[in-house]
Amino acid sequence: MGKTIAEKILSGHSGRDAHAGDIVVAEIDLAMVQDGTGPLTIQKLQGLGLEKVANPESTVLFIDHAAPSPRKELSNAHKILREFAQKTGVQLSEVGGGICHQILVESFVRPGDVVVGADSHTCTSGALGAFATGMGSTDVAIVIASGKTWFRVPETIKILINGELPYGVYAKDLILHIIGLIGADGATYKALEFTGETIQDMIMSERFTLCNMAVEAGAKTGLINSDEITRAFLKAQGREEDFRIVKSDEDASYERIIEIDASLLEPMVSLPHEVDNVKPVGEVEGTKVDQVFIGSCTNGRIEDLRVAAHILKGNRCYPGTRLLICPASRGVYLQVVKEGLLDTMIAAGAAILNTGCGPCVGVHQGILADGEVCLSTQNRNFKGRMGNPESFIYLCSPATAAASAIEGKITDPREYL
């Protein structure tokens, strides 16, 4: 019997013939924590009496969630990470570097790797054909100490997507549609494999958006076969030698197959307070927005910001509507500057935030007032997510976000493209 990507990678890393449902102990290629989860990981390692790290070269600490620090408690948390890095020789990504998941795909993850991170959106890296999943601080502590963890090999749901995405419809709209279809727990404990013509033609940036949100359907990871598009992406990062072919077998066994015709999709919006509360933009058009956020590990890449800038060019944000734009990494930020997009954004009235998670986590930069509405390109709209349980978050693509910032209300972006 053939194998899914998850079964292949976990077989290779556990030294046994692993199939869905098996419990295996796997070697881990890359482990990471961020400033919200890392201090607890370090505290746990100290509790183990183990400050020696199994693989310092492939252990990365990111300061991205509250970067730069807005208050002293978080400054002290950052200090714990910096001191641990100095003591053990693990990698540290400082303030200004950017969001962990973006830097992982730019500089660290290779197709075929097993990646664990103390951050739920670690599944983003699955777009490179890596088995990448989020875990808690203690699980990652044990990985840092021992280089291993246990997994239940997940069943895989194949999402077979054919047809061309219509103009103005993006991977974000596609993944919101899928989550609306299967629900916020539709893939719990499972892996999602995205495949089909639409995926074969999809650029890496959009593939990252898809896999990033696999966890919003409960999935352990989202996966895509590696191919020439993957190779070209790695080459552009100066690491073509990391490319490997990783693909599922033709006769692999799937828990179920969901077929989607991409050509029928429209721009989609997720409504408060659940990600799977998804509607076509037409059904919420006209909803007044107080703040628009373009950024995050879901949609803060150069391709996203190009779309936003294209729509914003020559326009101004609606009076009273705040627009926050946050490039996902230093590399993305530099490219934004190089391409002259910054001028367009600033002239349109946007506030540009330093790279990082920005307002998505509710810790700083753009916390909403009671009763306010934010339209965001991030991945979550749970009550309280952006720092105020009395506010309302809608999720959409960068195009919908930019068009809505100009109108001051939720707007179909196709009128602006």
Partner 1 sequence: MILRGKAHKFGDDISTDLIAPGRLFHLRTNLPELAKHVLEDADPNFAKKVKPGDLIVAGKNFGLGSSREHAAAIIKLAGVGGVLARSFARIFYRNAINVGLPALICDTSQIDQGDELQVDIEKGKIRNLTKEMVIETKPLPKVMLNILEDGGLIEHFKKHGKFKLD
Residues that bind partner 1 (CB under 8 A): 23, 25, 36-37, 39-40, 44, 47-48, 65-66, 71, 73-74, 76-77, 80, 117-120, 122, 134-139, 141-142, 145-146, 148-150, 152, 184-185, 188-189, 218, 220, 274, 361-363, 367, 380, 382-389
CB 375 within 8 A of CB 394: yes
Q: Which amino acid is at 186?
A: G
The torsion angles phi and psi of 185, rounded to 5 degrees, stand at: -125, 20
Name the residue among 282, 266, 273 with its Cα closest to residue 385.
273
What would the two tokens of residue 325 be?
A: 């734009």
User: String of b and e for 364-398 (b: at least 16 CB within 10 Å)?
Assistant: bbbebeeebbbbbbbbbbeeebbbbeebbbbbbbb
- Considering the complex, what minimum distance in angstroms separates the CB of residue 319 from partner 1? 28
Q: Which is nearer to partner 1, 119 or 242 (CB)?
A: 119
Residues 6 or more apart whose CB falls under 8 angstroms from that of 214 comprise 123, 126, 187, 191, 192, 221, 222
- Considering the complex, what minimum distance in angstroms separates the CB of residue 121 from partner 1? 9
Name the residue among 69, 168, 215 with its Cα closest to residue 80.
69
**What is the C-alpha to C-alpha distance for residues 175 and 74, in angstroms, rounded to an integer?**
33
- Considering the complex, what minimum distance in angstroms separates the CB of residue 389 from partner 1? 4
Lay out the sheet containing 221-223: strands in order across. Answer: 221-223, 191-195, 156-162, 256-261
Name the residue among 314, 376, 306, 377 with its Cα closest to residue 337.
306
- Considering the complex, what minimum distance in angstroms separates the CB of residue 154 from partner 1? 9
